[in-house]
Structure 1
């Protein structure tokens, strides 16, 4: 841009040719286009900001780290603490986990600002937080007190072996907000354990939770892949929002869920022995995400006891994952759910012939039914449905909608070899079933071949299927032939 040539050279020289430093520094000097009419004052302002940066050239032995550090101090002061927390502790975590460092609005706005300024990236697929190693180093050097501690025994086993640690070794760390442990074994009392907001203890060897670990300060508790058999809170945890027990293969009972009134996310994937999930789950009015993938024993317990309905789920859910749960012929007795807002439903890898009848679909937004080989039809899909995934449903024949004004935007159906109708999109009809009155005069000859079997070709629905000659119909007002190999 004309008028900025000198400033551009200064910035490039200052960043010493490092693209990351250039990106971060440039974003901190950014001025919105809406003020472009104030060109002269913009140049003076930016030069002044550059001069202030030059004064800190020797703050660190590494000049580049100094550039990044000063850009953070000068351009992102309002989000510096959030940046440091992410750099030190939350890289690799889901962005939703950041709600534990403050209120939701502050966290969302702060993440958006850091992304826009080139300090942070968020994976679109997984929501994982990512940060350049150099930026992480800046964040770690910018922290003046220990608020988080991470100990991975896999990384220190060569120096320490698998030695057990005394709980007293962390008991006096009163400023800790975050504690991340992996395969750590403690001995001693947990009564004086630090009152952290986020406790992550992967591979925890405890069979039940000591009361000292369930502190009132907890906002997120991540106990993945541990030996937990019974999980029960002795008292109400008013702050807990996230509970992750994924992969606790020995877990049998999860009780007293009413003691987590603010719980938003409950992750129980691969808890293959879980046979008791507290029925008070229905009263968790803030629960929005429930993952029960491969929790097969819950349904078996229901059948043995003859319960009319095992799970009454809260109306607040927006994500419900019941994949790989062996929901079969009697699935109506398994779960009851009536959503109050749009929700996503995951039912992949189940052997049912029809969808669970007590899950109300009228607010359904996204439906995953991957590899449900016995599923034959999907009748009366709601008009709210925008994404449908039925890949590998080899018995599926027909999909219809409750209204002709449906809003389906994404539809995946690879391997659905028997699918012959999707209402509003297409319908395959055997020639023998078409009345002569529906065929225009020059197409009457096709009736002579109604008993001939051919290979259908086209997209993934019809390709490679051998049937009698079919007609691809759209509302029967216009018809298109499927080409056939004789």
Structure 2
């Protein structure tokens, strides 16, 4: 049955009547009886009894259509309901080449171009056929010139087909589709739940609906959306002028909004790859009008230095009071705005920033779960963390100006990971961390540490530990919980004056530094 999508309108609010109509269509097509009418849904089951029938349903976009045509595997003797998946990479390339070259493989010299177009099509058979037909007969130079436009635009005949499923969604599910297309594709379901639970009444149900309509897939706990559907979502958002859109994802348009200060209260999210821009100057009032901004992500790539890409001669004065995600690599100011509101903040990611500090005093950060300030070499202090009761991860690695951690870090009782690797000016870890039950501390390269907390050893499976070049370490902690302990590297610990008691009964052979002979057991 071809093109059954979109058949359910407000005229068929009664699902039973709509299912009767679909079954009448199915029986009419199967038995060649025009305008066949049935009185109840059981008629189709009886008519198909003891018959072998292959039913192909094309363009199903509502669950009620599948239920009326197939029901379940016991309905009129169905052995299996098979949902056609996307072709694998090799098959997708063959489909594309069939239309582009009239053969199963690319012509010589077109291999890489054909692979890129296949990827742009997202392995969608319709997209592969349309794209293949579009490129057929073009020269290699024409292919190269056409690709930039295809990266940012969907051909109209593909867009019309894709919009059917989107248009059939309710308003809230349409919104969820746009959030994923513009900001949360390839993010974990847990991340969506953390950031969007206050935005959508029933996020789990919305994700289920999008998956049922094949608008997303859920793989290993992550959300994945088809490339063409991502572009569809972004095209829908782009109908308004940049400053008044719900989401901004185009680097050129984001720079235009930032430098011209044309952002508005409509803006909910911005996603910018810093490698796509040149140096841009922004004022300290750039974000003043973006009072509803919730998700800000300016990220740098490992293969590109984003330092100075967004430059502000003065510290920023404004950031949205509704921010839930603040991810700004190479943040240009020495501190966050003085009136920065943290109550909604769930994730703070500011790698390679110019920060000296975050904020003053005690702020409400009960919703904060992830903090990454790594490689912020100017960071000198952390704020009071008394209210960070749900913090899970704190990454301070390579914060080389950091001298101490606040004792209030002990209030983060749900903290799982504390990364202070190569904080080479950090003198001590506060004893309050010993009250955090499941904490793991990563501290390689902390050459200025004088003492280590006993929770370092609260891993019963620990068997080796490397304290190489902890030149300032005076005393190592008790290791009473390290039942399987087998090795300890103390080379370079020239200031160590006391050893833990485990070494007094150490049964495994080891080569200890020469200065160990002058150290007494604790």
Q: TM-score, normalised by structure 2?
A: 0.51
Question: 1:116 Cα deviation (Å)?
Answer: 7.6
**2:51 matches 1:40:** no
Aligned pair in 2 of structure 1 residues 140, 371: CA closer, same or farther (>3 Å)?
A: farther
Task: Render the CA deviation track for 1:386-413: whole Å, top value 9, x for unaligned.
Answer: xx9x9xx98389xxxxxxxxxxxxxxxx
Deviates more, 1:84-93 or 1:339-348: 339-348
Change (3 A) 1:100 1:367: farther
Q: 1:149 is matched with which residue?
A: 248
Distance 1:326 1:73 in 2: 56
Structure 1: how far apart are the matches of 2:251 and 2:460?
40
Q: 1:289 and 2:388 equivalent?
A: no
Rate the CA distance shift 1:119–1:367 in 2: closer, same or farther, 3 A.
farther
Structure 2 residue 226 is the aligned partner of structure 1 residue 140: no
Aligned equivalent of 1:336? 432
5 Å matches for 1:349-364?
349-350=445-446, 356-357=452-453, 359=455, 362=458
Q: Residue 489 of structure 2 aligns to a residue in which SS?
A: coil
Report the alpha carbon displacement of residue 92 of structure 1 after superposing the two structures with TM: 5.7
The SS at the match of 2:385 is: helix
Q: For the Cα contact (< 8 Å) 1:344–1:366, is it kept in 2?
A: no
User: Which SS does the other structure have where 1:237 is aligned?
Assistant: coil
CA distance, structure 1, for counterparts of residue 464 and residue 218 of structure 2: 27
Is residue 174 from structure 1 mapped to residue 273 from structure 2 by the alignment?
no
Q: 1:349 to 1:267 in 2, by over 3 A?
A: same
- Spell out, residue by residue over 1:72-127, the C-alpha distance to the aligned partner (whole angstroms, 9 max, x if none): 55589864322221112333666655343443994466557656875446786xx8
8 Å Cα contact 1:165/1:186 also seen in 2: yes
Deviation at 1:239, TM superposition (A): 1.7
Indicate if the aligned counterparts of 2:351 and 2:373 stay in contact, CA closer than 8 A.
yes
- Deviations 1:145-175 (CA, angstroms, capped at 9, x unpaired): 631113425x999xx9xx98221x22xx332
1:381 shift after superposition: 4.3
Would the aligned equivalents of 1:281 and 1:313 in 2 still touch at CA under 8 Å?
A: yes
For residue 197 of structure 1, what is the aligned residue in structure 2? 294
- State the shift of 1:69 in Å: 3.6
Q: Per-residue deviation at 1:292?
A: 0.9
Name the CA distance, whole Å, in 1 between partners of 2:478 and 2:218.
Answer: 35
1:142–1:310 distance in 2 versus 1, CA, 3 Å: closer
Distance in structure 2 (CA, Å) of the matches to 1:121 and 1:194 = 33
C-alpha contact (below 8 Å) 2:425/2:448 kept by paired residues: yes
1:39–1:228 CA distance, 2 compared to 1 (3 A): same
1:197 CA drift (Å): 1.2
Q: Is the 8 A contact 1:180 1:199 kept in 2?
A: yes
1:244 is aligned to 2:354: no
SS at match of 1:176: coil
Tell me which residue corresponds to 2:105.
none
CA shift in 2, pair 1:290/1:361, >3 Å:
same
* Partner residue, 1:70: 164
User: How many residues are treated as equivalent by the alignment?
Assistant: 350
CA contact (8 A) 2:329 2:350 kept: yes
In the alignment, which residue of structure 2 is the partner of 1:222?
Answer: 327
C-alpha spacing 1:352/1:177, structure 2 compared with 1 (3 Å): same
1:318 is matched with 416
Query: What CA distance in whole angstroms lies between the structure 2 residues aligned with 1:72 and 1:166?
Result: 33
Counterpart of 1:185? 281
Deviation at 1:347, TM superposition (A): 3.6
> Conserved in 2, the CA contact under 8 Å of 1:273 and 1:296?
yes
Q: Following the alignment from structure 1 to structure 2, what is the Cα–Cα distance between the partners of residues 76 and 42?
A: 31
Query: In structure 1, how many angstroms separate the alpha carbons of the residues matched to 2:78 and 2:205?
Result: 26
Change (3 A) 1:342 1:223: same
- Tell me how far apart the structure 2 counterparts of residues 38 and 340 of structure 1 sit (CA, whole Å): 54
Aligned equivalent of 1:6 = 54
SS in 1 for 2:233: helix
Shift of 1:132: 2.6
- Secondary structure of the residue that 1:298 maps to in structure 2? coil
1:86 aligns with 2:191: no
- 1:178 is displaced (CA, Å) by 0.9
8 Å Cα contact 1:200/1:221 also seen in 2: yes
The change in CA–CA distance for 1:68 and 1:243 in structure 2 (over 3 A counts) is: same
The alignment status of 1:103 with 2:198, answered yes or no, reads yes
Deviations 1:215-264 (A, max 9, x none): 3222222221122222353254322222221111x322222262243322
1:211 aligns with 2:317: yes
Q: Contact 2:454–2:479 at 8 Å: present in 1 too? A: no
Contact 2:397 2:422 in 1 (8 A): yes
Q: Is the 8 A contact 1:311 1:335 kept in 2?
A: no
Inter-partner Cα distance in structure 2 for 1:380 and 1:29: 65
Report the Cα distance in structure 1 between the residues aligned to 2:168 and 2:330, rounded to whole angstroms: 42
Tell me by how many angstroms 1:366 deviates. 10
